Amino acid sequence: MSTALDPDDTLFDQFLTDNGHEQRVTWDRSYNKKQCPECGGLHEMDAATCSVCGWAP
């Protein structure tokens, strides 16, 4: 399954970013694990920071 954004979604996201609207970055989900959006490291659901790269929401 593809997770690529539609070109219209990308344009809309850019418009929001350009006009002061920030998109909240949070953990991705991979089955029953949290996945770091920065490095892709997998963690238990109770993780607060990434033990691989140190990222935190």
pLDDT digits (tens, 9 = 90+) for 3-42: 555 667 788 778 877 877 766 788 988 889 999 999 999 9
Position 10 scores a pLDDT of 82
Give exposure, 7-46, as e/b (b: 16+ Cβ within 10 Å). Answer: eeeeeeeeeeeeeeeeeeeebeeeeeebbbeeeebebeee
pLDDT beyond 50 at 1: no
For residues 56 and 50, the answer to whether their CB atoms sit within 8 Å is yes
pTM above 0.75, yes or no: no
Position 4 scores a pLDDT of 54
Domain ranges of the chain: 24-57
pLDDT beyond 90 at 2: no
